[in-house]
């Protein structure tokens, strides 16, 4: 029989919470860091629950204090969002236990089941054939439409686990020119952004009031980081389907076009059939796309682009995002020239 291994990444309080409350009587066999935890600490936990014949895998999420420009949901809010999404048949991770205020573990902590699947980003990078890429896109679009069917009482950020935004609370993403200015003001002086980048970003941000007015009053669940790295996919009966939508810490109530823009940010890097299938699937799931949806969604995605460019996670991601910025700048200049 495999003996429980040392789990040195766990402090005594978290170890006690896991074995006494989250997984009572479980044997813990290992805790390994998971990549991609830019804002919270993620670990893969292997354990054998009491009475189980074999080991099972879980993800342990430890929340850090929010120090970013965009408000991030608390552990309690994220648990509530996962529950609301699951009720609409959105594929999400199954929550096992939570210590939302860190009273037992010292930090807000969430334990959920490990989901089998392949990151969509990896599948797209492998260059799927046209038909396969279209099926992938349709599956993703249908899931986004399901997310959009989760309706909230009003638009806004989630203040607590009731998921009722405050009626007079600030929009989580509002005043695009002001948000861009704040990002630029807090960017590192020796950062990679140059003067031309800044000018293009500010010029595109001036479209913000128009785009936000076009989606004012919408109150659907918005993931706000809906892109291939946060989607797991798997094959079922020979076809791809979405296994899980991960990482809901930025979710709020607003327009699904925020998520459309996020998913299509790097569409030029994917097989063209993926974007076609994505829009087909979104429409098939009764997702609403206004006449100027592409321009609106690209403008709404500037919130994320501004944040990335002024606080890039790595040079490669900065370069990809900068290319999108200048491509959108060229489109905007051509559109303006066509109107004259």
Q: What is the pLDDT of residues 24-65, one digit of tens each?
A: 999 998 899 887 656 789 999 999 999 888 999 999 999 988
pLDDT band at 8 (very low <50, low <70, confident <90, very high): low
Q: How far apart are CA 330 and CA 196, in angstroms?
A: 13
pLDDT at 277: 98
Is there a contact between 247 and 259 (Cβ–Cβ < 8 Å)? no
- Percent of the chain at pLDDT > 70 equals 95
| pLDDT score at 188 | 87
pLDDT of residue 5: 45
The residue assigned the tokens 């354990």 is: 47
Could you give the CA distance from residue 236 to residue 256 in angstroms, rounded to a whole number? 27
Which pLDDT does position 243 carry in this prediction? Answer: 97
Measure CA of the first residue to CA of the last residue in the chain; give whole Å.
77
pLDDT number for residue 220: 98
The whole-number pLDDT of residue 313 equals 87
Q: Packing angle between helix 130-148 and helix 272-284, nearest 10 degrees?
A: 40
- DSSP letters spanning 264-332: TTTGGGS-HHHHHHHHHHHHHTT----TTHHHHHHHHTHHHHHHHHHS-SSHHHHHHHHHHHHHHHHHH
Rounded CA-CA distance 118/233 in Å is: 5
Tokens coding 261: 């823009």
- Which ranges constitute the DSSP H helices of 65-193? 75-87, 120-125, 130-148, 176-186
In angstroms, the CA 184 to CA 301 distance is 16
pLDDT bracket for residue 2 (50, 70, 90): very low
Residue 1 pLDDT > 60: no
Name the nearest CA neighbour of 262 among 147, 185, 340: 147
- pLDDT at position 273 is 97
The whole-angstrom separation of Cα 304 and Cα 226 is 11
Instruction: Return the ∠ at Cα 55 (arms to 49 and 60), rounded to 5°.
Output: 75
Gyration radius of the chain over CA positions: 21
Please check whether residue 78 is in contact with residue 110, taking contact to mean a CB–CB distance below 8 angstroms: yes
Q: Which of 40-54, 123-137, 200-214, 242-256 has the lowest mean pLDDT?
A: 40-54
Q: Which domains does the chain have, with CATH numbers?
A: 12-113 (3.30.200.20), 119-338 (3.90.1200.10)
> At residue 340, does pLDDT exceed 70?
no
- 138-167: average pLDDT: 96
pLDDT exceeds 70 at position 338:
no
Here the tokens at position 97 are 């236990």
């Amino acid at each position: 029989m495999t003996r429980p291994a040392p789990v040195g990444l766990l402090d005594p309080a978290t170890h006690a919470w896991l074995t006494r409350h989250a997984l009572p009587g479980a044997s813990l066999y290992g805790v390994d860091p998971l990549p991609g935890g830019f804002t919270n600490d993620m670990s893969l936990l292997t354990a054998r629950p009491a009475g189980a014949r074999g080991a099972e895998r879980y993800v342990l999420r430890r929340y850090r204090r929010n120090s970013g420009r965009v408000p991030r949901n608390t552990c309690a809010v994220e648990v509530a969002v996962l529950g609301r999404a699951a009720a609409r048949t959105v594929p999400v991770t199954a929550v096992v236990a939570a210590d939302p205020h860190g009273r037992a573990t010292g930090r807000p902590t969430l334990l959920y089941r490990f989901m089998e699947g392949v990151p969509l980003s990896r599948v797209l990078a492998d260059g799927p054939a046209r038909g396969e890429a279209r099926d992938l896109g349709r599956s993703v679009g249908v899931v986004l439409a399901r997310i959009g069917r989760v309706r909230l009482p009003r638009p806004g950020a989630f203040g607590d686990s009731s998921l009722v935004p405050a009626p007079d609370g600030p929009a989580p993403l509002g005043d695009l020119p002001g948000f861009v200015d704040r990002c630029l003001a807090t960017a590192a002086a020796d950062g990679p952004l140059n003067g031309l980048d800044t000018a293009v970003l500010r010029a595109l941000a001036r479209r913000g009031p128009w785009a936000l007015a076009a989606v004012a009053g919408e109150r659907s669940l918005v993931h706000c980081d809906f892109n291939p790295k946060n989607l797991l996919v798997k094959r079922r009966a020979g076809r791809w389907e979405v296994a899980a939508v991960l990482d809901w810490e930025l979710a709020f109530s607003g327009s699904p076009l925020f998520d459309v823009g996020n998913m299509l940010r790097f569409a030029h890097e994917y097989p063209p059939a993926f974007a076609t299938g994505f829009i087909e699937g979104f429409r098939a799931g009764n997702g609403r796309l206004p006449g100027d949806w592409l321009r609106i969604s690209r403008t709404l995605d500037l919130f994320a682009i501004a944040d990335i460019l002024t606080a890039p996670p790595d040079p490669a991601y900065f370069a990809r995002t900068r290319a999108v910025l200048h491509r959108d700048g060229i489109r905007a200049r051509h559109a303006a020239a066509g109107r004259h």
